Amino acid sequence: MRNVSLGSLKSGSLIMIDGEPCRVASVDKSKPGKHGAAKIRLVGIGIFDKGKRSLIGPADSMIESPMVNKRTAQIISVADTVQLMDTETYEVFETAMPEEEIRSKILSGAEVEYWQLAETKKIVRVK
């Protein structure tokens, strides 16, 4: 995790809101008033749960930005969850089924790219 200022965020940036990694959907900036600093209003969409979250704060305040670890794995088995084996470390773990557009391509033996953010893993695409 690294800290970034609210004023430097753009749409598409990754931040932590309420302990959940989110992609910034919109950023609104208000001009500073006579006695205050500029305010930032942003809306983030949760990467794992697709929940909408908002955050309001001064432009110079700091917020955590998660580091994305992009890795490759091979599918071992498919059930309610997907069991994967990392192709570099040979670590075996389970993750939730991906979105509908990827779900039809999930087959045993296929290679996938997954992201690890804040101790949670998500399948992003099938190679």
Question: Where exactly does CATH 2.40.50.140 map onto the chain?
Answer: 69-126
- Please tell me whether the overall predicted TM-score, pTM, comes out greater than 0.85 for this model: no
User: Quick one: pLDDT at residue 1?
Assistant: 79
Beta bridge partners of 119: none
Query: Positive or negative CA dihedral for 20, 23, 28, 29?
Result: positive
Task: Report helix, strand or coil for 114.
Answer: strand
Give me the CATH code for the 2-65 domain, please. 2.30.30.30
- The amino acid sitting at 93 is F
Q: Boundaries of CATH 2.30.30.30 in the chain? A: 2-65
| Residue range 87-96, pLDDT digits in tens | 999 999 999 8
Pick the CATH number of 69-126 from 3.40.50.720, 3.40.50.2000, 3.30.300.160, 2.40.50.140: 2.40.50.140
Phi-psi sector, 118: left (phi>0), alpha (psi -120 to 50), beta: left
Nearest to 66 by CA among 126, 14, 26, 114: 14
Mean pLDDT score across all residues of the chain: 89
Read off the tokens for 112. 């996938």
43, 52 in Cβ contact below 8 A?
yes
DSSP 1-47: -EEEEGGG--TT-EEEETTEEEEEEEEEEE---SSS--EEEEEEEET
Please compute the mean of the pLDDT values over residues 24-36 and round it to a whole number: 86
